[in-house]
Amino acid sequence: MCTNCRHIAALLLVQAICAASLSYASEPGSAHAPGTKQWRQYDINQDGQFDRSDIDGFIDRGGLNIETDLNGDDRKDVEDALALFLELSVMDRSCDRIVNDEDFEPVDPVSVPEAPGISTVRKIVEECVMHAIPNLPPDIEQQAFRSVPQGKILSFDERVFVYQLAGMSGLAQQNLDAASWGYGRAFQTNERSAGSIGSLAFCLAVSDRDAEALLLLAYARSLFRESAPTATSLGWVFARHGQNEEALKYFREAVFYTPGIAQYHMNLGIILLRMGMKREAFEEFREASELDPADAKKLLFWYTTKPPHEPPVKKSLDPEEFKQQIEIERKELQEEGFTEDEMVTPWDQMSPCEQARTIPELLERRYDEQMQNIAQSYSDALSKRVEGVIMDFWPRWKNMPEDWNRYISGIPVVMRTSTRLTFNSMMEAGHRRASLTRQMGSELLGYSSFFMECALQQARISANEQINSWRDMPLTAESMAELRAEAYQEALEEAINYCYKSQVDQAYRWLTAEASPYGLPKSNIDAIDPQDFLLLFMVIPLECFNIKDYCPDGEGGDTRKPEFPVEHTVSLDLFIVSIEWNTDNNEWEFNIGAGIEVGVTWKPETGFGFQLGAGVDFMGMEEAVYVRIDEGKLTIETEEGFGVGTGFLSAGFEVTTIQATAELY
């Protein structure tokens, strides 16, 4: 199997490798080690398990009432609630995204057996493929090769690669039958494919068929010792059995063999954290996040294991900075003619809660400006790359047939390549946007203490306003004390929701933002674009009149002025759609458009043709230029015409004043 195919096959094999321990060795300064019953304190909804819904519950409360300092920053706050995502992965031995007592029950240890014979491997693979087929579409084989160009003869390695892609697709869709079939067929096509058999072993392990999985992994290891997919699958099996040392060994091997795959670093980071090596885990999560910036989970794991004072240090809130930003915005609005009532309130005149709620808006404007500059740079760079592709097919303006053939051959290349380059640029910009959004979320989350202080100040202000309204009421001291306490509690609850919790929720959404294509602005570069290239359809033929000897002489390209025959027409004009019948040559024209027209022609002798035209029509008089393709010839002609009629129907005549033809093939 080719090296590239093997590496690509690894990409989907590295599905999230969960690691949960039967024991958790702590190091000085690390978070509290999870024990058999510790997961219960995170079961906030009391449904008998710890899962994503419990984490959402903690975050919905703004991280309040967290009992454990999970990230070791000497505070119990919303960042500890975010650290629960990592805690869930660490404790989830079964890798089902749920933690309960079953994840801590003892399991029998496993070991890597001797590599089996080929007959044993064939039997396991055949059983996997046959077991999967009844659960798959009957044309699964045809579907797998549907993307292959018709008539293309695939090489041996290419067929293996197609099957591996089917296996990857199955894993991506969490369809183990499709994945098992794809990897099984890949191995049946090439029994020396270590990546295929290692990936099939992973599917077996996910299905709790560890004994067979280990046999296949042992065989894969005998084929190719330095296979990262095989190593990480072995680590995954050992991790699920609580054999930390063995799992660590194989996860380290996977990173060593293929250091450029982010998920391998994630797997290693989780097992390191499980064994109490938090500092090393942090470095692996950082590497994973840098390799795969589109995955918010990798960044979240790095963020929540970051040691205190580890660069980049959280930015402390500077009220003066936001005050200045508001003043700048107020000045800009004032210059645009806005009144005082229409402008944002000055910072010093805001209530504590208003200040807290304004900060996310100010951050978003600031980061949006950065993103606009970044997106513009991507757009400008894209224009240069696309122009470079177009210039390979741009006319040389020396010979019309050569330029035309170059143009025709370039259309699919230019359109396909420009589309791909545009999508790639939009994805790259999307990754930068996601990165900036997470940075914005991190900054906003760092202000959580300020938001809580705003909530406390707002609660005191609101409660005092309520209490002052009762001063003239005949109440006993005891009743007044009770009312004060109730007023403050109600004011505090409301203030926490609006001054603290909403900002923390926003920070969480930004911190976990996923990457998606980002729309690029119009380029500032004056470059040739695909639309300019497509218009050569009309420009190239017209140059026959401007460039001497550009079009060939003789029958294939005689440029001449005809003797202006008058031809009679009958037309039906339905706004942008028109139908015209030439009664002299029995030709029909069907056109769509206004100013620029696209249409087809039809004659009984020659059948259908194609034409593109531009012209004006005023009070029955018409002047137009048409480029036509019919019977393998390209014709340029200018027409003048006149018609009279009522409603949509008219009759008249047209005269061809200039005509040039060229053979296309």
Domain map of the chain by residue range?
38-104, 110-226, 350-534, 551-663
Higher pLDDT, 82 or 257: 257
Q: Exposed, middle or buried, 121 (CB in 10 Å: 0-12/13-18/19+)?
A: buried
| Overall CATH class of domain 110-226 | mainly alpha
Task: Report d(CA 613, CA 628) in Å as an integer.
Answer: 9
Q: Counting every residue, how long is the chain?
A: 665
pLDDT exceeds cutoff 70 at 560: no
Higher-confidence position of 664 and 11: 664
What integer pLDDT is reported at residue 561 of this predicted model? 34
The rounded distance, in Å, linking the Cα atoms of 550 and 518 is 44
Report pLDDT digits (tens) over 50-64: 988 888 888 777 777
Say whether pLDDT at 550 is over 80: yes
Give the C-alpha separation, 574 to 539, whole Å: 29
pLDDT, one tens digit per residue, over 574-633 is 656 677 767 667 676 767 665 556 666 767 666 666 666 655 554 455 656 566 666 666
- Asked if omega into 312 is within 30° of 0 (cis), the reply is yes
**Alpha carbons 372 and 263: distance in angstroms, whole number:** 31
- Diameter of the chain measured on Cα atoms: 115
Q: Six-digit token pair at 477?
A: 């001291």
The sign one gets for the Cα dihedral 210, 106, 266, 59 is positive
Between CA 309 and CA 306 the distance in angstroms is 8
From CA 206, how far away is CA 236, in angstroms rounded?
9
566 contact partners, CB below 8 Å, separation of at least 6: 653, 654, 655
The pLDDT of 228-251, averaged and rounded, is: 92
**Amino acid identity at 205:** A
Q: Give the whole-number percent of the chain exceeding pLDDT 90.
A: 28
In the 8-state DSSP scheme, what is residue 22? S
Collect all residues with Cβ–Cβ distance below 8 Å to 369 and sequence separation of at least 6: none
Residue 433: CA count within 13 A, CB half-sphere:
21
pLDDT, tens digit, 9 for 90 and up, residues 523-546: 998 999 888 888 887 788 878 778
Q: Which of 87, 81, 84, 75 is nearest to 35 (CA)?
A: 87
Q: pTM, whole model, 2 decimals?
A: 0.61
User: What does the block give as tokens for 318?
Assistant: 């500077």
* Residue keyed to tokens 């470079």: 388
Greater pLDDT, 619 or 348: 348
What residues contact 388, with CB distance under 8 A and at least 6 apart? none
According to the model, what pLDDT value does residue 377 have?
Answer: 95
d(CA 187, CA 203): 14
The residue type found at 195 is G
